[in-house]
Amino acid sequence: MKSFILSMAVLFTSFGVFAQSTIGEGGPKIEFEKDVHDFGNLMQNGDATYVFKFTNTGDAPLIIAETKGSCGCTVPKKAEEFKPILPGETAELPVKYDSKRVGPINKSVTIKSNATNEPSKVIRIKGSIAAAPAEETSPVKKSSVTAPVEK
């Protein structure tokens, strides 16, 4: 009886290891062209938008469930705006940074999906925003009319 129980335990353990090794091989997979975009030096109020491109390299439709910026100044495309991404298809995720803020940028966007390789993927933007030059105020214009000179 002990050998039967031991044999069954080995069999179920082996089956569990085999089952776990095959899980995750199929299904949708998300692969980004790049995980980090460096804007370099930008001017205040300039265009600070970058489009991250990614592909479903798996064998089932990829569903984007959530996209979330690390703060209110980093705004990715909403998850609801994505249709299922079929195997082999490429999609785009625009990320806009509010460039009215001056200083260094180091922000992230978290993407949650049904991808078997990375169900929670973090991409990043970085760079620096320099203050826009102060607007020059025009000097007060002098009148071209002069007062008569008394003799």
Distance CA 42, CA 97 (A): 11
Please list the alpha-helical segments (H only) found in the chain.
2-22
Is 25-130 in CATH node 2.60.40.10?
Answer: yes
Residue type (1 letter), 82: F
pLDDT tens for the 151 residues of the chain, in order: 555 554 444 434 444 433 343 454 799 999 999 999 999 999 999 999 999 999 999 999 999 999 999 999 999 999 999 999 999 999 999 999 999 999 999 999 999 999 999 999 999 999 999 998 887 555 555 555 555 556 5
In the sheet with 103-113, reading across from the earlier edge strand, the strands are 36-43, 120-130, 103-113, 64-69
Report the 10 Å Cβ neighbour count for 83.
10
Cα distances (angstroms) measured from residue 150 to each of 28, 119, 145, 146, 147: 93, 89, 16, 12, 9
